[in-house]
Amino acid sequence: MINKTIVKGLNGKITVPGDKSISHRAVMFGALAEGKTTIYGFLKGEDCLSTINCFRDLGVQIKVDQDKVEILSEGISSFKQPLSPLNVGNSGTTIRLLMGILSNINFPTTLIGDSSISKRPMKRVIQPLRQMGAKIEAKANDNLTPIKIMGTQLKGIDYKLSVSSAQVKSALLLAGLFADGITTITEPEKSRDHTERMLSNFGVEVNWHPDSLKISLKGKQKLQAKTISVPGDISSASFFIVAATIVPNSDIIIKNVGLNPTRTGLIDVLKTMGASITVENIQGEGYEPYGDIRVKSAQLKGIVIGGEIIPRLIDEIPILALAATQATGTTIIKDAQELKVKESNRIETVVNELKNMSADISSTDDGMFIKGCSNLKGTRVDSHNDHRIGMMLKIASLVAEGQTIVDNENVINISYPHFNQDLKSLLE
Ligand code: SPQ
């Protein structure tokens, strides 16, 4: 519970936990490679631990230490048939990327998850995998969990995605990696490219360029085990970037944040809205760039957000909506229909919960309208078991009059187990 009257500004330095998308991929690629892969900066959030558990169930040796994760594997051919269904918990990334990997394996598997996963669409992955020859069955007209995969030898395809999705793209690239022939994927807009970058890092030949919408690779390639350092998650940092912007008298530094250009849309948009954000000490060019982000309080102004930038900030829209409630003028978020199929329907949950706090916000079919300079009021709100909604509401409580209680806030452990400690340290 936080009371606005006692919030004097956010000050100090924090280091956010490792990037969730990169942590998942590091475990998967380490399991697919031959030899020992060591991962530093791994995110020990519930989603990434689900990925580890699935690969352990497939017989891969994975050791989780205080500062690193070690994976010992002899590659995909050494995977063993699991004794029970693989449980991905709440993680869309785990289930979709695993579908690509498991379609090539010579034994059957079943994938299940929690109640949120059981509502998320899987047809977008199943359809192209079937075109590659995969034998997959799913509930509700091939769309919902449980997913049953028979396992067979796939063949490469040339496939144009109808929605921009890093998970679909990655699932197909991982399937193509062990298929016969060449797999080529074209996206309508550029989604996050961690898979492409990490494939190159593990020694796979990928025909890819950071500015291109087309990626292709030849099948039957081997991955070489690696040491990987995971930068801080910009999606986790975004909650504090917005908090320091909208809470007066704030000045914070967030260290070692991933700055992959496919993920930095929030910084671009907030700067256009008038935020005071500077990025310093940029390192790691070529692989996954990272640096320190300094944020000071600033008055924002409303803008229109849509088009090709949406995939570059899709997970940051809940916190961006909160920022817009404190901006002057109106903010329109459009072209963001994908929000409806995340851990919750994020158009509905953002609009309803911010409305509960007296924001002037309404939903549209592909986004939301937000009238700014709202005096938010503390009340009882709900995360809807969506980690990003839970964190957005905790930050909303900093600028709301009176007390805010966030129900089901434990879901924050999905991606940011120390969120409350980091927030407290910046408020002290
Ligand atoms: O893994 P999950 O549950 O899908 O997580 C989310 C999130 O907010 O943490 C989405 F709800 O992030 C996705 C993201 O939206 C992670 C991801 C990835 O690692 O490949 C890609 C994005 O989804 P998409 O639509 O591009 O496939």
CATH code: domain of residue 106 = 3.65.10.10
HSE (side-chain half, CA atoms, 13 Å) at 359: 31
**Residue with tokens 């039957």, as numbered in its chain:** 220
Instruction: Round to whole Å and give the CA distance between 326 and 374.
Output: 6
Distance 100 CA to ligand 1 centre (A): 16
248 and 171 assigned to the same domain: no
Pocket test residue of 21, 120, 194 for ligand 1, highest count of atoms within 8 A of CB: 21
Low-confidence ranges of the chain (pLDDT < 50): 3
41 lines ligand 1 (CB under 6 A): no
21 lines ligand 1 (CB under 6 A): yes
Among 204, 229, 254, the domain-final residue is 229
The pTM of this model reads 0.98
Instruction: Round to whole Å and give the CA distance between 107 and 103.
Output: 9
pLDDT above 70 covers what percent of the chain?
99
Question: What is the atom index within ligand 1 of the atom nearest the CA of 195?
Answer: 20
| Residue numbers annotated as active site | 315
51 and 102 assigned to the same domain: yes
208 and 136 assigned to the same domain: yes
The per-residue pLDDT for range 131-171, each reduced to its tens digit, is: 999 999 999 999 999 999 999 999 999 999 999 999 999 99
315 lines ligand 1 (CB under 6 A): yes
175 and 319 assigned to the same domain: no
157 and 279 assigned to the same domain: no
214 and 185 assigned to the same domain: yes
111 and 144 assigned to the same domain: yes
Instruction: Round to whole Å and give the CA distance between 97 and 173.
Output: 9
Predicted pLDDT at 244: 98
Number of domains in the chain: 2
Among 229, 244, 278, the domain-final residue is 229
Q: Which residue's CA is minimally distant from atom 24 of ligand 1?
A: 165
Question: What is the atom index within ligand 1 of the atom nearest the CA of 97?
Answer: 20
Distance 415 CA to ligand 1 centre (A): 11
Q: Tell me how far the alpha carbon of residue 59 is from its chain's centroid.
A: 26
Among 229, 251, 275, the domain-final residue is 229
Q: Which residue's CA is minimally distant from atom 15 of ligand 1?
A: 315
86 and 184 assigned to the same domain: yes
Distance 91 CA to ligand 1 centre (A): 8
Distance 375 CA to ligand 1 centre (A): 31
Instruction: Round to whole Å and give the CA distance between 336 and 347.
Output: 9
The per-residue pLDDT for range 38-47, each reduced to its tens digit, is: 999 999 999 9
* Structural domain span for residue 160: 20-229
The per-residue pLDDT for range 182-194, each reduced to its tens digit, is: 999 999 999 999 9
